[in-house]
Amino acid sequence: MSFDDIIDRRGTHSGKWDKMEALYGVSPKDGIAMWTADSDYQTAPCVIEAVRQAADHGVFGYSWEYPEYLEAIKWWMKTRHNWEIDTDWILTSQGLGNAIALSLNVWSNPGDHVVIFSPVYHEFAHKISRTGRQVRECPLVRDGDTYLLDLDDAQSRLTGSETMLIWCSPQNPSGRVWTADESRAVADFAARNNLTLISDEIHHDLIYPGHTFVPMDVAAPEHRSNTVYLTAPSKTFNIAGQRTGNMIIPDPDMRAAMKKMQASLDYSPSSMGLRMIEAAYSPQGAAWVDEQIAYLEGNRQCFDRQVNAIPGIRSLPLQSTYLAWVDFSGTGMSHEEIAARIRDDASLAVSQGPTFGTGGELFQRFNLATQRARVQEAADRLTKAFSDLQ
């Protein structure tokens, strides 16, 4: 199948499509689901083939992080990200949301403050609160079409009760690809303030031409003893439902602490998740990712061209991810009015900017990992919904 082939996901127990009416008030009959970060096209043929082979075998017993699985991850990090890792460093988790929640439980205590740089993936704050910790929000600085760090400002916000920093690289929702210098500055900041650094790099594969992702460990290897690196092929290959991610932890004591926590919860990995990841992290998988990036580049150009022609609306140029971060502040409307027009007039279910924290108040996030025809339709609907601004 090509990326252009429309796949009807309604009625397939897809969270994105089958929950959008309940969560966003947008009917799946004529609505377009553009919120949660999964894609509407099929995954790579090599991943589908691995599942087919497993189904033909027909036995789905227990498994473990077997050597070929670990080697596939090592290969991927080296060939795609120029990152040398040791297979001993790899622990699996039930996805990266789970890895973040586990990390909070292992390396911070209830009541502690956890530093995040906003606007940022809303689940960071939710997980911090749900585990009984508190959010220490440090706003990023908007600089035209991009965002910058202000670590002096962040330093001035710390009170001494912070024990952890959750970092998003590349950044969701802005798509910002941090430079090696910026990443190193964040790692230095964490070390200086005795913060365990959780570097969430889930979006690291979907980088647009002209930008280079540098893993935190490549930028600042001297901070390994204090850092957990989180990666997963779930966004890259659209296999989030398999609930499998990786915690790459070079420090043996930190690794032992995480293993102890997982043992206490009786964790063991999903055998299908492991097979899918092993198949994905291969030369065939890499070639498919390159095709996907080229397709997404076309999607974002199509979306941005039309949406940026609407006075007062600005879709920021993405450096990575398929999540368009759109600034509606120039419309002069409140969040409620913007959201109502998108929901009621355009019938689009999108992620609400204010949930991403300070700086997201007048933004909306649109998932563009869908067929080009749907992206075009969404842009047409937005043009109509905001036609009075023309």
Residues that bind ligand PLP (CB under 6 A): 37, 95-97, 121, 168, 172, 200, 202, 232, 234, 240, 245
Encoded tokens for 121: 């993936």
Report CA dihedral (36, 37, 41, 47) to the nearest 10 degrees.
-130
Shortest Cβ 99–ligand PLP spacing (Å): 8
Q: Strands of 162-168's sheet, edge to edge?
A: 90-93, 245-248, 227-231, 196-200, 162-168, 113-118, 134-139
Shortest Cβ 358–ligand PLP spacing (Å): 17
Q: Which is nearer to ligand PLP, 46 or 168 (CB)?
A: 168
Q: Which is nearer to ligand PLP, 240 or 247 (CB)?
A: 240
Q: Which is nearer to ligand PLP, 81 or 341 (CB)?
A: 81
Shortest Cβ 330–ligand PLP spacing (Å): 26
Q: Note the Cα 303 to chain centre separation in Å.
A: 20
Shortest Cβ 120–ligand PLP spacing (Å): 8
Q: Which is nearer to ligand PLP, 32 or 37 (CB)?
A: 37
Closest of 214, 195, 228, 221 to residue 90, by C-alpha: 228
Shortest Cβ 200–ligand PLP spacing (Å): 5
Shortest Cβ 240–ligand PLP spacing (Å): 4
Q: Which is nearer to ligand PLP, 331 or 351 (CB)?
A: 351
Shortest Cβ 227–ligand PLP spacing (Å): 16
Q: How far is CA 7 from CA 2, 26, 371, in A?
A: 10, 19, 9
Q: Which is nearer to ligand PLP, 173 or 341 (CB)?
A: 173
Going by the DSSP 8-state scheme, the letter that residue 225 receives in this structure is G
- If residue 110 lies in a helix (H) or strand (E), which one and from where to where? none
Q: Which is nearer to ligand PLP, 37 or 346 (CB)?
A: 37
Q: Which is nearer to ligand PLP, 187 or 310 (CB)?
A: 187
Shortest Cβ 313–ligand PLP spacing (Å): 23
| Per-residue 3-state assignment (H helix, E strand, C coil) for 226-289 | HEEEEECCHHHHCCHHHCCEEEECCCHHHHHHHHHHHHHCCCCCCHHHHHHHHHHCCHHHHHHH
Closest of 171, 219, 162, 181 to residue 365, by C-alpha: 171
Shortest Cβ 383–ligand PLP spacing (Å): 27
Q: Which is nearer to ligand PLP, 323 or 362 (CB)?
A: 323
Indicate the pairing of strand 134-139 with strand 162-168: unpaired
Closest of 41, 35, 42, 43 to residue 15, by C-alpha: 35
Q: Note the Cα 220 to chain centre separation in Å.
A: 21
In the bound state, the residue with its beta carbon closest to ligand PLP is 95
In our burial notation (b when 16+ CB lie closer than 10 A, e otherwise), range 104-117 reads bbbbbeeebbbbbb
- If residue 164 lies in a helix (H) or strand (E), which one and from where to where? strand 162-168
Shortest Cβ 306–ligand PLP spacing (Å): 25
Encoded tokens for 225: 């003893």
Rg (CA), the chain: 21
Closest of 33, 11, 43 to residue 374, by C-alpha: 33
Q: Which is nearer to ligand PLP, 241 or 330 (CB)?
A: 241
Beta bridge mates, 108: none
Going by the DSSP 8-state scheme, the letter that residue 207 receives in this structure is B
